[in-house]
Amino acid sequence: MRLVIDEIYLPSKSRERRRSRRLPIKWPIEIQGTDDRGISVREESRVENLSAAGVFFYLSRRLLVGSKVIVQIKLPLAASIWVRYAGEVVRTQNIGSRSGVAVKFASRRPEFLIKFRVQPGKERTADRNGLTWRGSEGQPASFSRHRLPPDACE
């Protein structure tokens, strides 16, 4: 006869509940959504921490828990490569004049983008199967279809 004893681990109140590790990074982030007054928001900020499941950042405006947002994060590469996630605000906290916002990503698979500046103050974006905009500063842009090399997105 063989006796098997299973160990049971009960979560303590101080134990971390997150399923993925958070990284304290300060990469540029752009947020699009609607604030607590129903006004459209498009704001730039910096990531405070990032995980496979979500992101935390600060804004100057308050978003409501449950509101849907689009988050774009610039990767620290030579090219202007960004990742875009759809997400939902799951937590907010007011700290002085700033509002801390935690967003849970709808999917762990982002859309990869390349951003191009083709005219002063104007920016164009191309996704993996999108358009590449070409043109020098201040000149009209032309475009062509492109595909990012697989290693550019990994």
Amino acid making up residue 99? S
Residue 70: what pLDDT?
A: 96
Greatest pairwise CA separation for the chain in angstroms: 83
**Per residue in 78-98, pLDDT tens?**
778 899 999 999 999 998 899
Residue 107: what pLDDT?
A: 93
Domain boundaries, the chain: 28-105, 113-153
Q: What is the mean pLDDT of residues 35-63?
A: 94
Other beta carbons less than 10 A from residue 137's beta carbon: 8
φ, ψ at 153 (rounded to 5°): -110, 10
pLDDT exceeds 50 at position 151: no
Give, in order, the Cα–Cα distances in Å from 9 to each of 3, 13, 46: 19, 13, 37
**Per residue in 101-145, pLDDT tens?**
999 999 988 998 887 665 555 555 555 555 444 444 444 343 333
> Where is 136: in which H helix or E strand?
none
Tokens 């681990």 identify what position?
A: 9
Beta strands 28-34; 40-50: pairing state? antiparallel
Query: CATH topology for 28-105?
Result: Thrombin, subunit H (2.40.10)
Tokens 């164009």 identify what position?
A: 124
Q: What is the mean pLDDT of residues 41-65?
A: 95
Angle at 27 between CA 21 and CA 31, to 5 degrees: 95
